[in-house]
Chains A and B, each alone.
Chain A
Amino acid sequence: MAQSMAYNQAAGIGGMLKKGHKAMEGLEGATLRNVEACHEISTITRTSLGPNGMNKLVVNHLGKIIVTSDCATIVKSLEIEHPAAKMLQLAAEAQDFECGDGTNLVVSFAGELLMQTVDLFRMGLHPSDVVVGYTKAGDKMLKEFLPPLAELVKPMTNGREKEELLRVIRPVLAAKYLGSEDILAPLVAEACLGTMKSSTGPASFSVESVRVAKILGGDISQSLVVQGFVALRGLETTLTSAEDAKIVVFGCGIEASATEAKGTVLMKNADDLKNYNKSEEKKMEEIIKSIADSGVKVCVSGGTVSEMAMHFIERYGMLCLKIGSKWELRRLCVATGATALVRLGAPTPDEMGHCDHVHQKEVGGRPVTIFSQSEGSKTSKLATIVLRASTSSVLADLERAIDDGVHAARTACKDGKLVPGAGATEMELSLKVRAFADTCPGLDQYAIRAFGKALEVVPRTLAENAGLDQSVVVAALGAAHASGKLSAGVDIDAMGITGASGVSDETGVLDLYHTKASAFKLAIDAALTVLRVDQIIMSKQAGGGAGMM
């Protein structure tokens, strides 16, 4: 290492910086390395694109096993250290945050854009030429080419119609876990509909209000929606059901309050001793009695419930549930409209929640408590999808799929514009961008053409993942689009059937315009950021060089 340092010192920069730094510059030193690193990431995730995408098994640093084809999850758990590749990760996370879906498009497209630059550099183009070309192409595409495509498909107009929502949710779920869409899409739609706020005005709901409860065992077809809350543990009391129940939620435990500081009760005479225990008991009875008198039928505690308290809860015929997690407790509050009390005592009517049915049920060998609201209930602000599957990795993956589906439904409620999916949009844009390239006079023409070619990555990968011959499919798709079939896309159902072209004029697959546009924009931005870097300087890592190679 000393030798190479000596070279750097001669070049000047090494002499200026603290020993142990790393510096790379120029096309080969920095740009190409960055491009390569990003390409590496996108190769990992590319095979997960689309309904037929393969899964990745990631064992994270805690030893947890994640099996998924969700790109955001993959890049998040990869622990990427390369600074340029990290850009892609951040872009994917931004997309996940913004739209919840289309993350793989971001990474794949950005990776492909960067991969195309290798050829351009080989031709002698300077990175800045490429940046100019890509910027031009990106602007043109997002402003002029993409919007007209949204007119090809009837937009989602009414977010309150189940059928309308299904049109949006189904392709998203199919892309995450093929085969689940027919069962889960109606559940997701129902859950979303159930939590929509008011019956007038534009449809809208909060993503937070659709929850997933995972129970191992059974299969997907046994999944169901509960308008309300599902706690994955049983009730503490012998009574296990209540109707039209008022609910009190305590953030604290239901127990006699004890002093934090060490205190000792001093007793002076025999009467003190006799009454000591009784007084404590009496106090607890008073509290529980006052709660029961206020009409509450269900007590929910965020902490422990002392045996004495349980005794009186039983005595006054109430139900009691313990919920350990603060998040869960908050969700229950949302579902029932209760306010969590931090002090033991009877709630005011405002602080009480209400639930139409509370009961305990055994699902998959474990007891669960179900708080469900009747149809048309005012307080139903939360819906829970109870997921069933016989492996924990499938459960986790389905949960992510549902998350994406809910996000898509939310986005669709804001902006219902749709574009044709299954690679149709990308193919059309690719042709348009390439046609645009021919009209450009400068060196950026090459970059714009490369941009157009990069767009092909979507139909190409979809075909490849579906086990089709990608070159044949992309060629046929290009021909279909050139002859005016603007909605033609990759027909993944052609998989395994001999003689099928793999191209369908009308796939029925729809993508949200908003998601698509945002994914393109983030991918282009990430790629441009990577390309603009011509020098990498890394200081020596603190901590004795454990991270150094």
Chain B
Amino acid sequence: MGPMGMRPGIILLREGTDTSQVSSRHCHFHYFVDGRLDYHFNNLPKRFSLTSITIAFDFNIHSTSTQGKAQLISNINACQAVADAVRTTLGPRGMDKLVADGRRVTISNDGATIMRLLEIEHPAAKTLVDISMSQDAEVGDGTTSVVLLAVEILKQMKPFIEEGVHPQIIIRNIRLASGLAVQKVRDLAISFDIHTPEGEDMLLKTASTALNSKLISSHQDLFAPMIVDAVKSLSADGGADGLDDLRGMIGIKKIPGGDVRQSFLVKGVAFKKTFSYAGFEQMTKKFANPKILLLNVELELKNEKENAEVRIEDPEQYQSIVDAEWQVIYDKLDSCVACGANIVLSKLPIGDLATQYFADRGLFCAGRVEDGDLKRVAKATGATIQTSTNGLFVGVLGTCADFEETRVGDERFNIFTGCPNSLTSTMVLRGGSEQFIAESERSIHDALMVVKRSLKSRSVVAGGGAVELEVAKHLREHALRIEGKGQLIVNAFARALEIVPRQLCDNAGFDSNDILSALRRKHTQDEDGKWYGVDIENGGILDTFAAGIWEPSDNKSFSLASAAEAAGVILSIDETVINPRSQDPGAATGMMGGGGGMGGQKPLSNMMGGAMDAVNAQQGGSRSGNLGNGVSYLKGRGGG
């Protein structure tokens, strides 16, 4: 019981609810202390003294002018902590992160991958995961820079929030600035025609630029042409139509072992030799213009249906049943052979009986082919996958120029080349460790997406921070024409864009202040200085366009737009309400612990228990507050 002998109270919100419209937690109900209400108080029993009433009304009354400011700052701090986690991965000299989730170890410097694995719990910071993911889906690359950019915008806006500028003014001007920036990127972009040799070169360079910041950057001379070839083969006329199903059409096979340089591209379909039965050795392993049959049928002697049962009355019949079962499978095999196929592939197992049968008749077969591989074969060869062996006809068969089972490194591969619909291709990646190949695959995927983007938009801008600086310069010039606070905010937005070159320098170990000032000067003074960016090799500045560091312009415009959008979302939140989880009784009981001593009416401010601490914890920059429980964090050289 509270000291004041409070009445049992009525709770405003469900217990455990945490509202953190952080502002004044004190009572502003001074009317009660003076004035005419005293009269009423005097008529009350003593127990309801003035103090008890004021405590009863000790809700979280918000003074209007400061509403939500602390909430905003706390959200910005949380986001900054998240950005710090991916900051060092940016650029060619970026470091990788190792994330262990108990089961698997992932080594990556792909922003989207890291953001996904971080399991961020802070509700506002989750927005950053969203933009990183959508950048990944939309463009494929630039997932780190979009997060950095969003957070840097927030960081630049923080002083304004602290000074009491209304968040809506800031949001409005961020929108204005991002609109201008995206327009400027479009104006700056240089378009190309991919049918010319210059166009080819352009694609090659965008692929190299994308690979530059990845684990396999030293092998870009090998991978960049492979990637460009793979993407270009997607559409027959170099148009943008066939590019949509990139993930399905370009297979990436990871074969641990061997050397990275042994990776290769197959214009067609390739997959690792499947598990095979006796008789496989006798098969023909090489065909020219074979007919290919794709099945989703199990070619093995087995029970046809789970729920079928044979009951015989006469032991004589037993043999006939056995014969019938054999007959069923022989019928299937016969029809496969009869339709004229040379190669039989099946998603389901092909048993030793069938293997032997096909081998005797000069056919090649492979069972347990992966679904994706089988679909790619279907696409490439024009075959349709059959779920039944009845009614096979020539129309369902596919063909290709060459089929061969051959040894690559220490693995055997089934390779189909010269397919009539030459849209698919397969990249076979080799490398030392599993993690290494996994990261190579992610890098290659990013590069594939970048090339696809360039093919679609057919325009590029220079990387290395050049385009950011040029846009920043444009915004600064424009800002001078804006009246009022907007000028400062657009300026701050321009400053935020500089995070990209700045971080590139920091990661490479250069003095970012020196280089940035040199770059700003170059961009302002020289007419043709618009493509100057960070020289990551020598630590100075150089014309990155001339140096062939090119990125698709869509990449930049998407990341600018979504970073600004995310910053707007985070700035527009002035209150966080966290309801207790329905299956989490701990949240409610935790709140209840001290309830007895609080008396009846529980002020909202007191309800900011555990969850609030998590929010407040970030103000000190502690990162653990953003991550799930049990996530430990080690960074830097001494970390391990």
State whether A69 and B312 are in contact (beta carbons under 8 Å apart), knowing that A273-B321, A364-B137 are contacts in the complex: no
Let me know if B574 and A497 touch, CB within 8 A: no
Output the nearest chain A residue to B483 by Cβ-Cβ distance: A497
Let me know if B62 and A61 touch, CB within 8 A: no
Interface string of A510-549 (1 = CB under 8 A from B): 0000000000000000000000000010100000001111
Of the candidates A22, A263, A365, which one forms a contact with B10 in the assembled complex, judged by CB atoms under 8 Å apart? A22
Q: Name the B residues within 8 Å of A273 (CB-CB).
A: 304, 308, 310, 321, 324-325, 328
Q: Which of A65, A118, A496 has its CB near the most chain B CB atoms (within 10 A)?
A: A496
Output the nearest chain A residue to B572 by Cβ-Cβ distance: A55
Output the nearest chain B residue to A34 by Cβ-Cβ distance: B10
Interface string of B150-180 (1 = CB under 8 A from A): 0000000000000001111100110100000
Let me know if A394 and B384 touch, CB within 8 A: no
Verify if A4 is at the interface (C-beta below 8 Å from B): yes
Please provide the chain B residues from 1 to 41 with a CB less than 8 Å away from any CB of chain A in the complex. 1, 5-15, 17, 19, 21, 31, 35-37, 39-41
Let me know if B321 and A52 touch, CB within 8 A: no
Of the candidates B7, B11, B378, B565, which one forms a contact with A389 in the assembled complex, judged by CB atoms under 8 Å apart? B565
Interface string of A37-77 (1 = CB under 8 A from B): 10011011001000010111111111101010100000001
State whether A219 and B565 are in contact (beta carbons under 8 Å apart), knowing that A266-B311, A495-B172 are contacts in the complex: yes
Verify if B210 is at the interface (C-beta below 8 Å from A): no
Q: Name the B residues within 8 Å of A44 (CB-CB).
A: 19, 21, 575, 577
A537 CB, nearest partner CB in chain B, Å: 11
Q: Name the A residues within 8 Å of B320 (CB-CB).
A: 269-270
State whether A37 and B12 are in contact (beta carbons under 8 Å apart), knowing that A43-B61, A59-B123, A273-B328 are contacts in the complex: yes
Of the candidates A7, A82, A278, which one forms a contact with B12 in the assembled complex, judged by CB atoms under 8 Å apart? A82
Let me know if B574 and A123 touch, CB within 8 A: no
Verify if A479 is at the interface (C-beta below 8 Å from B): no
Let me know if B561 and A390 touch, CB within 8 A: yes
B531 CB, nearest partner CB in chain A, Å: 26
* Binding stretch for chain A, among B124-132, B273-281, B337-345: B124-132
Please provide the chain A residues from 443 to 464 with a CB less than 8 Å away from any CB of chain B in the complex. 464
Verify if B624 is at the interface (C-beta below 8 Å from A): no
Verify if A481 is at the interface (C-beta below 8 Å from B): no
Let me know if B57 and A464 touch, CB within 8 A: no
* Binding stretch for chain A, among B45-53, B354-362, B400-408, B532-540: B45-53
Let me know if B485 and A496 touch, CB within 8 A: yes
Let me know if A56 and B169 touch, CB within 8 A: no
Verify if B307 is at the interface (C-beta below 8 Å from A): yes
Let me know if B390 and A216 touch, CB within 8 A: no
State whether A54 and B56 are in contact (beta carbons under 8 Å apart), knowing that A4-B1, A27-B40, A216-B137 are contacts in the complex: no
Output the nearest chain B residue to A281 by Cβ-Cβ distance: B388
Interface string of A352-389 (1 = CB under 8 A from B): 00000000011011110000000000000000000001
Chain B residues touching A, majority SS: mixed
Interface string of B137-148 (1 = CB under 8 A from A): 110000000000
Interface string of A231-264 (1 = CB under 8 A from B): 0000000100000000000000000000000111
Let me know if B167 and A124 touch, CB within 8 A: no
Let me know if B309 and A69 touch, CB within 8 A: no
State whether A122 and B134 are in contact (beta carbons under 8 Å apart), knowing that A40-B12, A267-B310 are contacts in the complex: no
Q: Name the B residues within 8 Å of A393 (CB-CB).
A: 127, 130, 569
A10 and B35 alpha carbons, distance in the complex (Å): 31
Q: Name the A residues within 8 Å of B134 (CB-CB).
A: 216-218, 364, 390-391
Verify if B315 is at the interface (C-beta below 8 Å from A): no
Output the nearest chain B residue to A82 by Cβ-Cβ distance: B12
A63 and B578 alpha carbons, distance in the complex (Å): 8
Q: Is the interface on chain A under 10, 10 to 19, 20 to 34, or 35 or more residues? A: 35 or more
Q: Name the A residues within 8 Å of B172 (CB-CB).
A: 178-179, 495-496
Interface string of B385-421 (1 = CB under 8 A from A): 1111011000000000000000000000000000000
State whether A124 and B309 are in contact (beta carbons under 8 Å apart), knowing that A1-B1, A549-B600 are contacts in the complex: no
Verify if A78 is at the interface (C-beta below 8 Å from B): yes
Let me know if B309 and A216 touch, CB within 8 A: no
Let me know if B311 and A267 touch, CB within 8 A: yes
Q: Name the B residues within 8 Å of A65 (CB-CB).
A: 123, 126
Q: Name the A residues within 8 Å of B435 (CB-CB).
A: none
Q: Name the A residues within 8 Å of B379 (CB-CB).
A: 238
B564 CB, nearest partner CB in chain A, Å: 9
A429 CB, nearest partner CB in chain B, Å: 23
Output the nearest chain B residue to A10 by Cβ-Cβ distance: B45
State whether A549 and B8 are in contact (beta carbons under 8 Å apart), knowing that A57-B577, A59-B577, A78-B13 are contacts in the complex: yes
Let me know if A57 and B305 touch, CB within 8 A: no
B326 CB, nearest partner CB in chain A, Å: 10
Verify if B558 is at the interface (C-beta below 8 Å from A): yes
Let me know if A7 and B565 touch, CB within 8 A: no
A362 and B452 alpha carbons, distance in the complex (Å): 13
A216 and B126 alpha carbons, distance in the complex (Å): 14
A63 and B309 alpha carbons, distance in the complex (Å): 50
A36 and B577 alpha carbons, distance in the complex (Å): 19
Interface string of B588-599 (1 = CB under 8 A from A): 100000010010
Of the candidates B309, B384, B579, which one forms a contact with A59 in the assembled complex, judged by CB atoms under 8 Å apart? B579
Q: Which A residues lie at the B interface, using CB under 8 A?
A: 1-4, 7, 22, 24, 27-29, 32-33, 36-37, 40-41, 43-44, 47, 52, 54-63, 65, 67, 69, 77-83, 85, 118-119, 121-124, 178-179, 216-219, 238, 262-271, 273-274, 276-278, 281, 285, 307-308, 310-311, 314-315, 361-362, 364-367, 389-394, 464-467, 495-498, 536, 538, 546-549
| A-B pairs with beta carbons under 8 Å apart, 21 shown | A3-B5, A22-B7, A56-B577, A60-B579, A81-B13, A82-B13, A216-B130, A265-B305, A265-B308, A266-B311, A267-B310, A269-B317, A270-B323, A273-B328, A308-B388, A315-B391, A391-B130, A393-B127, A465-B168, A467-B165, A496-B484
Q: Which B residues lie at the A interface, using CB under 8 A?
A: 1, 5-15, 17, 19, 21, 31, 35-37, 39-41, 44-45, 47-48, 53, 56-57, 59-62, 64, 67-68, 123-124, 126-127, 130-131, 133-138, 165-169, 172-173, 175, 244-245, 296, 304-305, 307-312, 317, 320-321, 323-325, 327-328, 378-379, 384-388, 390-391, 483-486, 558, 561-562, 565-566, 569, 572-582, 588, 595, 598, 600, 602, 604
